Structure 1
Amino acid sequence: MKYRKLGQTDLNLSAITFGAWAAGGWMWGGNESNDAIKAIEAAFDEGVNAIDTAPIYGQGFSEEVVGEAVMGLPRDQVYLLTKFGMRWDLAKGDFAMKSKNNFGKDIDIYKYAGAESVVKECEDSLRRLRTDYIDLYQIHWPDSTTPIEETFKAVDKLIKDGKVRYAGVCNYSVSQMAEAEKYVRLASNQVPFSMLRREIEKETVPYCLENEKGILAYSPMDRGLLTGKMKPGQEFNEGDHRKNLWQFKDENIKRTNDFLQKIKPLADEKGLTLGQLVLLWTIEQPGITIALAGARNAEQAVQNARAMRASLSTEEVEKITGELETLQLVR
């Protein structure tokens, strides 16, 4: 496993960090907790020392699964990354979406990061994760109804109280990061980044490089599309959010697979799957600290982690990027 220092912190995270969204089942058509626990344990055995979760993933279920999975692991050898600012139990803040929980019940989700909510969510996360501190505490999405000052003064107090080690953000613009930085030192920004979604290269990457902030790239395999295993006409389980995303239109699946076939010889040469090659390319991009990779079972977790046993030369990275420039997807 390769390890990367996150920003100006002493968090030395595995370049592949376990993404626990699917472990919560919500929006992924459900999931078995035993499979998720075995996946986390298998990842740890392969050198993955960091797990990223959030309360909204399964409305607490993902955090509970993570808490159970790490119970038997040395706490000082595993980094717990979680989030705050998405409430399904309080109608306050920015309305985010209508959804259904894992039991099929309708829920309304709000983006809210008022001070009292930040503190409550932290206490709830500590309980579910079965720990007395969180290594990286990240706002999940911006909340336009709460001043950034209020939110991050609350996070700063959690840090001073020893309940949180470092503060991070997710899905924040450069201007929002700069504002938050006035009240607490940010470690990182967690943002979507993949071969198919490179918008952050314009502003976020330069800002983070200049200011020594880490970038946690989420959905680096674009929710499974970049594994090459999907085909036009792909069937998704009831409740799986992917069936409504533009990337999964039949034409985009076809074009993506055509691109993947162009880089497959390099994967074959290195004894890698396409997904592993994609992860390697991702962590070699400027400014990217780690790639978050989800796994629904132990086999997937091991495969993701073992991508780091290989490496890419500068020329190989450039060759992949060159092929990528010819890929045109339809919105």
Structure 2
Amino acid sequence: MSGSGAPIKIGVSSCLLGEKVRYDGGHKHDPYLTGVLGRFFSFVPVCPEVECGMTTPREAMRLEGDPAQPRLMTHRTRIDKTEQMLAFCRAKVEQLAAEDLCGFIFKKGSPSSGLFRVKVYREGMPAASGSGLFAASVARRFPQLPMEEEGRLNDPVLRENFIERVFAFRRWKDFLAEGPDLGRLVQFHTCQKLLIMSHSTQLYRELGALVATGKEIAFPELLERYQELYMKALELHATAKKQTNVLMHIMGYFKKHLSVEEKQELLQLIKQYHDGLVPLVVPLTMLRHYVAKYRQEYLSQQVYLSPHPAELMLRNHV
């Protein structure tokens, strides 16, 4: 759910939800999407082939030619379906603009919906360097929208990064919907500081400088620039080294409160996390305990301590 109570919408390739729309009449149902993410997200299904007028089942297709501007060709009868698909893409992305999406999960390898390393055939070996025509259209139309492929969500690091960005984008959209001003932007940024720091100290500094000079910039431009840098920062992976830096930073707020033994215990947990022996949730649980115990107001506002529902267990991997 978003801050407004509305469901968080993400686009999804229809076949991943179990819809029988693939060229062979089958589906590619992903139980993680429907069984786990479905508890927190509302899905907006899209099947470019069916929605642009193709039948199910249908002849298999593939991308051919220049990976930067590939053609969509039927494999056996050699019919060029490029313009049919691109016309659909132009109309569909404008429809999706009204859906208030906070993310999109695409079908790996699809000539329409594959996001990364889609095969593009030309003379010799196919180059696994293209994007599906629809996925590329969505990426161009919504450059800050969190996007991922279902196969890559099996990687716990990629999964955490994607879902964290979805919730972050929803927070930003809620902020925009509530009538922002410079004071509220400062407040929003203050709550995101440690989360941003865990992804990029450089962009953390850039965003801080941007907000600090906000009065010198036209406010619509300021918001646009902040969104761009905010989502760019979160796209970078929060490595164990970066996370350890943030954990130590948080620990510094309790140097006058903790006993020598408590400090040693906390430092040991942070080191064990850094060395890959325990998941991030272990030192964070203790830090959250101290935040509540000592009523640390600044830290209690930090999104970093709980950027997504605990039920997703995204910080439980080593």
- TM-score range (shorter-chain normalised) is under 0.3
Q: Which has the larger radius of gyration?
A: 2
TM-score (norm 1): 0.26
- Would you tell me which structure has more strand in proportion to its own residues? 1
Q: Structure with the greater relative contact order (CA < 8 A, sep ≥ 6): 1 or 2?
A: 1
Question: Is the helix fraction higher in 1 or 2?
Answer: 2
